[in-house]
Amino acid sequence: MRLHGKTALITGAAGGIGRATALIFADEGAEVILADTDTAGCDALCAEIRDRGGRASWFGVDVTSEEMVSALFASLREQSGRLDILVTIAGGDLDPFSPADGISSDMIDRNLALNLRSCMICCREAARLMKSQEYGRIVTMSSLVYRGAQGQFSYAAAKGGIAAFTRSLAMSLGTFNITVNALAPSLVDVPVFRKTLGQERWDALVRESASRYPLKRIAHPIDVARAALFLASDDAAFITGQILEISGGARL
Ligand SMILES: NC(=O)c1ccc[n+]([C@@H]2O[C@H](COP(=O)([O-])OP(=O)(O)OC[C@H]3O[C@@H](n4cnc5c(N)ncnc54)[C@H](O)[C@@H]3O)[C@@H](O)[C@H]2O)c1
Q: What's the 232 CA to ligand 1 centre distance in angstroms?
A: 19
How much is the pLDDT for 32?
Answer: 98
Task: Give the sheet arrangement for strand 178-185, strand by strand.
Answer: 55-60, 31-36, 7-11, 85-88, 136-141, 178-185, 243-246
The pair phi, psi for residue 183, each rounded to 5°, is: -95, 135
Please give the single-letter amino acid code of residue 221.
P
How much is the pLDDT for 98?
Answer: 86
Residues 6 or more apart whose CB falls under 8 angstroms from that of 58 comprise 13, 33, 34, 35, 36, 39, 42, 43, 45, 46
Catalytic residue among 135, 146, 155, 213: 155
Q: If 0-12 CB within 10 Å is exposed, 13-18 middle and 19+ buried, where does residue 51 land?
A: exposed
**Residue closest by Cα to atom 40 of ligand 1:** 91
**Domains of the chain (ranges, CATH numbers):** 7-188+220-246 (3.40.50.720)
Q: Over the stretch 127-152, which tens digit does the pLDDT of each residue have?
A: 999 999 999 999 999 999 999 998 99
Q: What's the 94 CA to ligand 1 centre distance in angstroms?
A: 10
Q: Are 229 and 137 in contact (CB under 8 A)?
A: no
Q: Over the stretch 180-235, which tens digit does the pLDDT of each residue have?
A: 999 999 999 999 999 999 999 999 999 999 999 999 999 999 999 999 999 999 99
pTM given for the model? 0.98
**Residue closest by Cα to atom 1 of ligand 1:** 188
Number of H helices, E strands in the chain: 9, 7
Return d(Cα 140, Cα 182) in angstroms, integer: 5
* CB distance 22 to ligand 1 below 6 Å: no
How much is the pLDDT for 249?
Answer: 97
Active site residue 155: yes
Please give the single-letter amino acid code of residue 79.
Q
Q: Where are the beta strands (DSSP E) in 66-106?
A: 85-88
* CB distance 89 to ligand 1 below 6 Å: yes
Atom number, ligand 1, closest to the C-alpha of residue 91: 41
Q: Over the stretch 7-59, which tens digit does the pLDDT of each residue have?
A: 999 999 999 999 999 999 999 999 999 999 999 999 999 999 999 999 999 99
Return d(Cα 63, Cα 121) in angstroms, integer: 8
Q: Over the stretch 57-109, which tens digit does the pLDDT of each residue have?
A: 999 999 999 999 999 999 999 988 899 999 999 999 999 888 999 999 999 99
* CB distance 188 to ligand 1 below 6 Å: yes
**Residue closest by Cα to atom 31 of ligand 1:** 62
Q: Report CA-CA distances (Å) from 82 to 42, 67, 245, 247.
A: 21, 20, 29, 33
Of all residues in the chain, the percent with pLDDT exceeding 70 is: 100
Please give the single-letter amino acid code of residue 244.
L
Residues 6 or more apart whose CB falls under 8 angstroms from that of 54 comprise 26, 27, 32
**Residue closest by Cα to atom 38 of ligand 1:** 15
Q: Are 26 and 54 in contact (CB under 8 A)?
A: yes
